[in-house]
Structure 1
Amino acid sequence: MAHLKAAGAEANKSESHIQFSQLAAYGAGGIIPIALFNIAGILVGLMGNISLGLSAFWLGVILIIPRLWDAVSDPIIGHLSDNTRTRWGRRRPFLLIGGLLVSVTFVLMWWIPKGEMVHSWFPTEAGFQAFQLVYILVALLLFYTSCTIFEIPHGALGMEITTDVHERTRLFSAKSFVGNLFAMSTPWLFALANMEIFKGTGGNEADGMRYVSLMIAAILIPLSFWWTYKLREPGFVRIKTQEKAPFWQDMKNTAGNKNFILLTLTIFTLAMGFNFVNLLGSYIPIFYIFGGDKVEGAYLLGINGTVWAVTGVLAVFPLNIISPKIGKRKTLMLAIGLMVAAQLSKIVCYNPNYPYLIVIPTMLLSMGMLFFFTLGSSMVGDICDEDDLKTGKRTEGSFYSIFWWFIKMGTALASFVAGALIVYTMFDETQVTKVDALQGSIRVIEKEAESLNEGNAATANLADLLQDAREKSTALITHFKEEVEKDNKNALHYESLIQLANDIGSKINNLNPDLQPDELVKQVAEIEKSTVALTQQSPFTLLMMRIVEIGLPVLLSIFSIFFIFRYSLTEKRSLEIKELLKERNLARELAGNESK
């Protein structure tokens, strides 16, 4: 037995330590499940509501449907990946195909057809909005299916690359590191999409996101070839002779593992709580801290997102110091504590007078999230080792698919609930889109006046442009009056908006197209600046947004702590299992060599 242990230590040395090239290639794969999932989950709901004017409730409904589809696709892809045998291994073909499909479907998601032809097919506003919702649903189904094809085998591969429990944490930390590095682009994408170079004159951020998505695809496509070429499957030599198992047998075995169920419930409960309010976290800086100014709000979201990503990147290093010292289970509880502290600090840090206080809870929350989800994936690998010792089979794909499905179900349920919560807070998306339309018409006038001021020939009739702005101003005032009639709770709020809108309407009516271009530019710029206040939501809406966004995650974190206290796979037991697997695998290898 002594010679087996000595030989085992030597044989597994290369499998235990991860080379930097493997670390980098595997970490790059974090762009899809961390960064792109974040972008789709936040910006589709945000832009669909405040840019396209679609119902937050129905956006929530269609965001949950792909998660229900994941209930089918995730386990199937996990099972297929476990039972695939090719010259390139059982995981790598999925990484290439999935990466390329994600690139294409991510672009399609933002190119919602519009124009006169589409409007002729759906002449009513309700019909056109229904078409947009259906298009978004189909695009999301394609996008998330592509993500599943990539992420389930990628996560399973992460559990196979090394047999060392702490190297496994290091590997998933690299995935978090790169994923969060790119995730910092999420809020900046909203800011980029708001730039005129992307959205065009009179366009909004939904128009700008079309071209921003092409930039992202241009980065992702070459990366898909790189990580497929670079990554290796060190355990495939042993696995390729493993007998293929029926689908339901794999699922039954996975669902019967007590530690796996407890870990999954821990992750699911907390993830659901924070995803309930993830979308509200984008509304509060825009509509509470900056009173509806989307440009200033987008800039703060960009700063805040960068702080989040940088903190997440840096948090990888203390995680890899703390976890080996106190164990994964205790570190997971520390992560939950950090997130609860972050939520409670928002009571003070959501402050319009000091907007950048928001970075304090962001740093705490980012560190806690990084610890929490990185350890979760690493601990699934430990559970796979425990299962291997018991059954003699490696089924990382099945375990990871069920684990990931629960996380995505939490996200989906949260998307539905988030939409319902936004409706409950009485957020007025019609107000926002009508103000957008008014601002767009004013910017077109300003652009034409600037062109005339530079000595260029007229490209449009200023009188017609002014008439368009007047009509949009009237439509906005009509909406405010309708809200006063049906909503007594916020009547005073809407009456103040009516007064402001009337003042702006009077200024538009008094604009003289025969003014000198420089004077016209000045007057139009002043009018545009004053329209920002028209997006201000009611005090009730802003209060309820903060109560829900702070309170719900704290409540569900309590349940998460209860589940992790019952998790029994300790650090000591994980190390024992590692050694037992080494001895068993080496004994099998030697027995196989002797039989040849």
Structure 2
Amino acid sequence: MNRTEKLPYKVKLGYGIGQMADSIPYNMFSIYFLFFLTDAAGLPAALGGTISMIALLWDAVTDPVVGHMSDTCTSRFGRRRPFMLVSLLPLSITMVLLFVPVAFGTAASIAYYVLIALLFRTFYTGFVIPYFSLGAEITQDYDERVTIQCMAGYFIYIAVWAVTAGPMVVIDRVVKSGVSYGNAWTIAAAVFAVVGLCCGLVSWRSLKGREMADQRTLHMDQRAVSLSSVFKSYLPLLKDKIMIYLILLRLTFIFSGAVSTAAFVYLMSSNLGLNEAQQALYWTFYSIIYIIAIAICNVLSNKTEKKAALIATVTLSITASVFFYFHNINSFGELIVFTCLCSLCSACFWTVGATLVYDYNEVVEFKGGKRQEGAISGLILFSQKVGSAIAIWLSGLLLSGVGYDGMAEVQTETVKQGILFLNTLAPAIISLTSIICVILYPINRKNFALLKKALALKNEGKEYSTEGFEKLL
């Protein structure tokens, strides 16, 4: 099946709304879980970082398994959508339980947060791998894929705004009504868990019938999932240089992003002294800036090339990060300027960068005769989780190493400098590897068009030529 037609707007919208069900729990965990553990649950930063790392490494392990399961699922309801539906409610429940301030003693509290975090990341994987895989199935058009990811990107930053500004508003108001600070976090998590659940259900319903129907019975002989079957499905992918470039790109970019994301709330609260209302105002500006950045990235990608857009925006972000490390971020205004300069990079990665993965699916189908959206998504998200896990763990260690104390009212200058490093210079250094991976990635608009044409002929049993896209094979 060759899907190159323009998608109906309601399908694009439905797919985009599903990003809310992904981004709300993702950002609650990435932005606030470590901060909650140190400043609400009272755990040391190193322990908080270790808990986050354990959960993310487990998430990484489950990614390939869920990807393989969704590729080989033979349900009459489709390969992807049943996983999305089954995962949504438990994902919402465990997100709330993550932000419950327990007081069982240090060891028992650690055990509680590790267990809930493992469950949370399992259900998150159960939703996001099939959802992300569907992006490659609903269209095979080179530019249309950018369009649907830009639609999803708008919802990413709507979710980011909701999940960053929103909790601070809820917490501020709930605390003023007499509820404890820790319990206010639980209420805030519950509010946004419900929002994420509703958006996920809307997306699940909107994508009915959009899976590639001829693929649902492709693997009828592989119903049993075993470690050997999972390994065999991934081995050819792991030998492919394009997949290696994609894995390294996602791992390094997510690593750099996770370092700054985990430390960003500390930058606002400790270095700049912003209260909850000021932080909520920042996140509102942040989301507006990024939504504008997505539109710019869409134009850049369509007018030039995906790789060129990524290289240009990552270079701008690195330059801004190095400048502000030495200049320092001294005010709310400078924080906004820093965000503006870095926004194009992040927006481009989450939209244009995601379609690099989608375009690789046709290469896999041409070489192996079958589509493996779930397996490819599983490997890519595996690399993201490993990068996030190590980054958050190292962030916690560095914060502890420079003397961060979540119970202290004022942090030392050494602590503030460490926080600034995590938000600026550290991500800039890591991002240099991302640029190299983008340069080496070989798929472009021209050779992708030739590949699709040959793939259509091959699937019809007709003669075809690999001229013009040999290096993709």
Normalised by the length of structure 1, the TM-score is 0.72
Q: Do the aligned partners of residues 288 and 22 (structure 1) sit closer, same or farther apart at CA in structure 2, a change above 3 Å counting?
A: same
Query: Whole-Å Cα distance in 2 between the matches of residues 136 and 198 of structure 1?
Result: 23
> Which residue identity does 2:338 align to in structure 1?
P
Q: Pick from 254, 261, 266: which aligns with 2:237?
A: 254
Query: Whole-Å Cα distance in 1 between the matches of residues 298 and 56 of structure 2?
Result: 32
Query: Whole-Å Cα distance in 1 between the matches of residues 170 and 112 of structure 2?
Result: 20
Q: Please give the secondary structure, in 1, of the residue aligned with 2:261.
A: coil
Please list, as runs of the form range in 1=range in 2, the aligned pairs for 1:209-224 lying within 5 A after superposition: 209-224=185-200
Q: Do the aligned partners of residues 186 and 234 (structure 1) sit closer, same or farther apart at CA in structure 2, a change above 3 Å counting?
A: closer
Q: Does 1:308 align with 2:286?
A: yes
Q: Do the aligned partners of residues 210 and 241 (structure 1) sit closer, same or farther apart at CA in structure 2, a change above 3 Å counting?
A: closer
Partner of 1:28: 17
**How far off is 1:165 after superposition?**
1.1
Q: Please give the secondary structure, in 1, of the residue aligned with 2:459.
A: helix
**How far off is 1:37 after superposition?**
0.7
**How far off is 1:357 after superposition?**
1.9
Larger radius of gyration: 1
Partner of 1:495: none
Partner of 1:563: 437
Query: Whole-Å Cα distance in 1 between the matches of residues 382 and 209 of structure 2?
Result: 24
> Which residue identity does 1:316 align to in structure 2?
I
Q: Please give the secondary structure, in 1, of the residue aligned with 2:424.
A: helix
Query: Whole-Å Cα distance in 2 between the matches of residues 202 and 96 of structure 1?
Result: 34
Query: Whole-Å Cα distance in 1 between the matches of residues 18 and 42 of structure 2?
Result: 34
Q: Please give the secondary structure, in 1, of the residue aligned with 2:41.
A: coil
Q: Pick from 270, 274, 288: which aligns with 2:257?
A: 274
Partner of 1:142: 119
Partner of 1:393: 370
Q: Do the aligned partners of residues 351 and 71 (structure 1) sit closer, same or farther apart at CA in structure 2, a change above 3 Å counting?
A: closer
**How far off is 1:159 after superposition?**
0.4
Question: CA contact under 8 A between 1:34 and 1:176: conserved in structure 2?
Answer: no
RMSD, aligned α-carbons: 2.1
**How far off is 1:19 after superposition?**
1.0
Q: Pick from 154, 179, 182: which aligns with 2:131?
A: 154
Q: Does 1:551 align with 2:398?
A: no
> How many residues are aligned here?
455
Query: Whole-Å Cα distance in 2 between the matches of residues 187 and 92 of structure 1?
Result: 28
Q: Please give the secondary structure, in 2, of the residue aligned with 1:335.
A: helix
Query: Whole-Å Cα distance in 1 between the matches of residues 427 and 261 of structure 2?
Result: 10
Query: Whole-Å Cα distance in 2 between the matches of residues 407 and 91 of structure 1?
Result: 20
Q: Do the aligned partners of residues 308 and 198 (structure 1) sit closer, same or farther apart at CA in structure 2, a change above 3 Å counting?
A: same
**How far off is 1:345 after superposition?**
4.4
Q: Pick from 400, 423, 438: which aligns with 2:400?
A: 423
**How far off is 1:324 after superposition?**
2.1
Cα deviations by residue, 1:280-308 (Å, 9 ceiling, x for unpaired):
22112211222xxxxx4333322222222
Question: CA contact under 8 A between 1:169 and 1:374: conserved in structure 2?
Answer: yes
Q: Pick from 320, 331, 335: which aligns with 2:298?
A: 320
Please list, as runs of the form range in 1=range in 2, the aligned pairs for 1:352-431 lying within 5 A after superposition: 352=330, 354-431=331-408
Query: Whole-Å Cα distance in 2 between the matches of residues 201 and 553 of structure 1?
Result: 40
Question: CA contact under 8 A between 1:15 and 1:234: conserved in structure 2?
Answer: no
**How far off is 1:196 after superposition?**
4.3
Query: Whole-Å Cα distance in 1 between the matches of residues 209 and 386 of structure 2?
Result: 29
Query: Whole-Å Cα distance in 2 between the matches of residues 310 and 409 of structure 1?
Result: 30
Question: CA contact under 8 A between 1:342 and 1:360: conserved in structure 2?
Answer: no
Query: Whole-Å Cα distance in 1 between the matches of residues 369 and 19 of structure 2?
Result: 30
> Which residue identity does 2:197 align to in structure 1?
I
Q: Do the aligned partners of residues 395 and 304 (structure 1) sit closer, same or farther apart at CA in structure 2, a change above 3 Å counting?
A: same
**How far off is 1:586 after superposition?**
4.5
**How far off is 1:274 after superposition?**
2.7
**How far off is 1:384 after superposition?**
0.9
Cα deviations by residue, 1:126-182 (Å, 9 ceiling, x for unpaired):
xx1332222111111111111100000011111010010111111122111112111
Cα deviations by residue, 1:498-522 (Å, 9 ceiling, x for unpaired):
xxxxxxxxxxxxxxxxxxxxxxxxx
Query: Whole-Å Cα distance in 2 between the matches of residues 93 and 198 of structure 1?
Result: 39
**How far off is 1:84 after superposition?**
0.8
Question: CA contact under 8 A between 2:169 and 2:280: conserved in structure 1?
Answer: no
Partner of 1:165: 142
Query: Whole-Å Cα distance in 2 between the matches of residues 176 and 370 of structure 1?
Result: 7
Query: Whole-Å Cα distance in 1 between the matches of residues 213 and 415 of structure 2?
Result: 59
> Which residue identity does 2:185 align to in structure 1?
M
Please list, as runs of the form range in 1=range in 2, the aligned pairs for 1:446-465 lying within 5 A after superposition: none
Q: Do the aligned partners of residues 428 and 107 (structure 1) sit closer, same or farther apart at CA in structure 2, a change above 3 Å counting?
A: closer
Q: Do the aligned partners of residues 87 and 424 (structure 1) sit closer, same or farther apart at CA in structure 2, a change above 3 Å counting?
A: same
Partner of 1:16: 5
Cα deviations by residue, 1:477-499 (Å, 9 ceiling, x for unpaired):
xxxxxxxxxxxxxxxxxxxxxxx
Question: CA contact under 8 A between 1:24 and 1:174: conserved in structure 2?
Answer: yes
Partner of 1:230: 206
**How far off is 1:233 after superposition?**
4.6
Q: Do the aligned partners of residues 207 and 200 (structure 1) sit closer, same or farther apart at CA in structure 2, a change above 3 Å counting?
A: farther
Q: Please give the secondary structure, in 2, of the residue aligned with 1:111.
A: coil
Query: Whole-Å Cα distance in 2 between the matches of residues 235 and 587 of structure 1?
Result: 23
Partner of 2:87: 98
Q: Name the stretch that deviates more: 316-325 or 386-395.
A: 316-325
Question: CA contact under 8 A between 2:18 and 2:204: conserved in structure 1?
Answer: no
**How far off is 1:373 after superposition?**
2.4
Q: Does 1:50 align with 2:49?
A: no
Question: CA contact under 8 A between 1:349 and 1:357: conserved in structure 2?
Answer: no
**How far off is 1:397 after superposition?**
0.2
Partner of 1:519: none
Question: CA contact under 8 A between 1:312 and 1:366: conserved in structure 2?
Answer: yes
Partner of 2:225: none
Higher relative contact order (CA 8 A, sep 6+): 2
Question: CA contact under 8 A between 1:78 and 1:401: conserved in structure 2?
Answer: yes
Query: Whole-Å Cα distance in 2 between the matches of residues 214 and 44 of structure 1?
Result: 14
Q: Does 1:339 align with 2:317?
A: yes
Normalised by the length of structure 2, the TM-score is 0.90
> Which residue identity does 2:378 align to in structure 1?
S
Structure 1 gap segments, 5+ residues each: 1-10, 115-121, 123-127, 291-295, 432-534, 589-596
Please list, as runs of the form range in 1=range in 2, the aligned pairs for 1:185-200 lying within 5 A after superposition: 185-197=162-174, 200=177
Q: Does 1:539 align with 2:420?
A: no
Question: CA contact under 8 A between 2:61 and 2:382: conserved in structure 1?
Answer: no
Structure 2 gap segments, 5+ residues each: 223-228, 463-473
**How far off is 1:52 after superposition?**
2.3
Query: Whole-Å Cα distance in 2 between the matches of residues 52 and 68 of structure 1?
Result: 22
Q: Please give the secondary structure, in 2, of the residue aligned with 1:426.
A: coil
Query: Whole-Å Cα distance in 2 between the matches of residues 282 and 338 of structure 1?
Result: 23
Cα deviations by residue, 1:397-433 (Å, 9 ceiling, x for unpaired):
00011101111111111110010010122112242xx
Query: Whole-Å Cα distance in 2 between the matches of residues 75 and 90 of structure 1?
Result: 15
Cα deviations by residue, 1:356-381 (Å, 9 ceiling, x for unpaired):
22111112222210101222221111
Query: Whole-Å Cα distance in 2 between the matches of residues 81 and 566 of structure 1?
Result: 30
